[in-house]
Structure 1
Amino acid sequence: MPSLQYQGSKPDPALEPLLTDIETFLQTALCSFAPEPQRSERRGRPAIIPHLCLWSGLLVCVLRGFSQQLSLWRMLYLGKLWHYPRFPISDEAVYKRLERADIKPLQALFQHISQLLQQRLEVWSTCALAPFAAEVLALNETTLDQVARYLPSLRQVPQGDERLLPGKLSALFDLRRQQWRTIEYQEKPHQNKKVAARQMVSNLPKYSLVLADLGYFGFEWFDWLTEQSYWWVSRLREKTSYTLLHSFFEEGDTKDQLIWLGAYRADQAAHAVRLVQFRVGKHLHRYITNVTEPQQLPIIEIARLYARRWDIELAFKTLKVHLKLHLLWSAKNQVILQQVWATLIIAQILQAFQMEIAGRAGVDPFEVSLALMIEYLPQFAYDGNDPLESFIKYGREVRFIRPSTRTKILAPTPDWDLYKPLPPDLCFIRKPRYAHKP
């Protein structure tokens, strides 16, 4: 059984079990599909590309930074893909094969690799981030970049037209492991974020904590999360009305309070939430959460936790910029989705390597440059070296590992002795009223 490595490279013993398992899984998964119909062996008939070869080629194209379907064809035509023979076929044959191919094997491979990496990362992941929560996840969406106008049906569509947008990805990102937790493709790029939100989080363990931006802000959404036993943190949208229930602490612009969201009869949330507020320089920060016990989640930790929502934006950047998902290989949805899932698979592995390098080097994961990892790990492998070990060995000397440029979060830490206890008869739930817009 060949391992997933480039020809001429020396396998890294630490990675070989994982990578061999990936190929074993791929072969098992692809063999489970119905065999293709037998074709006659007439003279000049092009060779049939095995499914496994097709998917392996896609993954290698993403990993090597190729930006078009022609790269996959050239690799197969020249026989430059691992142990596979040369396939003397036309580029059109590869295009048609991709158009007919199902994306389910790639989706299944993504899930399988994610499970393997979850086990691998247990020693490096940390529960220091909101230790009271089962998992800590960021929820968001990203719109896929516009396709090129290659198809006849798109040639008359003006540049910038939304018909060139192939859709978007809704995602949950595991902040402790720096791994994609759930990915869903949405065909409509301008669909409201909250439409897919409940489905996205419905399979999370109870008492997971969800961080989301103001695009998900809504009383009914917050109540649903609370009733499903999920923790959440959000910024407070400007001009949102509320009624004060209890003030734990108040000094100048710094406040820690319990409130009812919605002060008017037309729109009222069912569950009381906690509002924290503080000023840093000229900026007033305001967050709300259903973690109503201040000592469970202090003001400073709320600020630090919500700042980690940015992790999912950096993960989207890895997909689009570093792994070149902004350069879509095709205007056809089926091929676009194959590129998306191949990119997600490679990103999942590289982000796991980033966590492992950070753990072995004793640094914060964001001190390890993911962009330089993508560029240099294959080069170390080509030279026959252990790529992770080399990255750690030379990391500080050549600034693979360097101080993180992320913003340092500032927030007050009031004395707990100044906090006022809750009244014993305080009610935390009421009948809701939701303002539904047409």
Structure 2
Amino acid sequence: MAPAITLAADAPTLSAANTGFMLICSALVMLMTPGLAFFYGGMVRVKSTLNMLMMSFISLGIVTVLWVLYGFSMAFGTDSGSIVGWNSDWLGLSNIGLTELWDGYTIPVFVFLVFQLMFAIITPALISGALADRVKFSAWALFIALWVTIVYFPVAHWVWGAGGWAFELGVIDFAGGTAVHINAGAAALGVILVIGKRVGFKKDPMRPHSLPLVMLGAGLLWFGWFGFNAGSWLGNDDGVGALMFLNTQVATAAAILGWLAYEKIRHGAFTTLGAASGAVSGLVAITPSGGAISPLGAIAIGLIAGVVCAMAVGLKYKFGYDDSLDVVGVHLVGGVLGSLLIGFFATGKGQSDVAGLFYGGGLDQFWKQCAGVFGVLAYSLVVSAVLAFLLDKTIGMRVSEDAEVAGIDQAEHAETAYDFSGAGGGAARTTAAPAPVAGAESKKVDA
């Protein structure tokens, strides 16, 4: 996903096939943000449903505008100190030719930048799941604008921009294990450590209100993820994109099995919430690694991610941080696993000739992966916590306790997700306790 230097004699020409393929992939990645909204929206209580949908949708608006103004320039412009990019000709995207090709590839610059835009949109949206039920919408919108500017745009340059320190070090991140998932997961942890727990955390039942919505969201994420992953090779002339497509399916399937097996042993049931969460954990783990490993390696990484992430979601009860929808347990932990396991499972036959420990390559790549993982994790955690602290001390990050208890949808959006007041619907149903769900949330409360 980074520019390549080519000689004039080898200069590529525009490929209509690759251009069309990348536009389709961009649309698939865009679909992931509404999919994430449904996934998160079904996992919260009724009174927070619309707020969760809006926390994802607002990212589509804010990040798109900032990307056009300066985000693309910061992420992929000329390197400055291995930290950030900059190209004044790209401000506002007004000085880019319609047929100007992205460096070393057969697609226009506009196609590459719109594909990358969709990554920039979904990354802050991922953070929102950790903050369910308790954050002012205006504060969240301002946080997104500041966070993508100070955290996401520079980190994208580190990982994918020519001259970025992780890129130059040789850290492998095919489609966003560090720049997207570790980045978002660490940010989520930093923010929740600042803003604190929900009212009733570990005391009140906080079960998903609509598991069908969760499954719908997971299905849309899985579908869109093929564009997210396979599209990150920016074409498929050499088969690497096809390998990534296959490994995405394989690892996700294996992760579902791993999560459900752990859940059955630990909690005694195979739950739909577990299946959906397992799928996402596999998608996260294969994102950085799928272009460097074999399908057998994808099975191994998927199984490991499914089991370890299922174990990790319960850590919030042990350590007392309120990660509402398990962003830390799934995205941070899954991203770390997928990134580090490249150092063991890389075959040297995919996106590069780098081999991992199990294929005779020693631990050299593993240590490079560690540098990328923990560099991004530390930066995002600290800066995100500082941003949340400053916002909390100025405009305030949290809604009032009364608004949180009564329902953030009414307080922040003056709407409710479901209207039962019409013919055939009793108003009392809006306050009825949801039926017990043999899902992870109810099990975790008891853990």
Shorter-normalised TM range: under 0.3
TM-score, normalisation: structure 1: 0.25
Greater share of residues in strand: 1
Greater share of residues in helix: 2
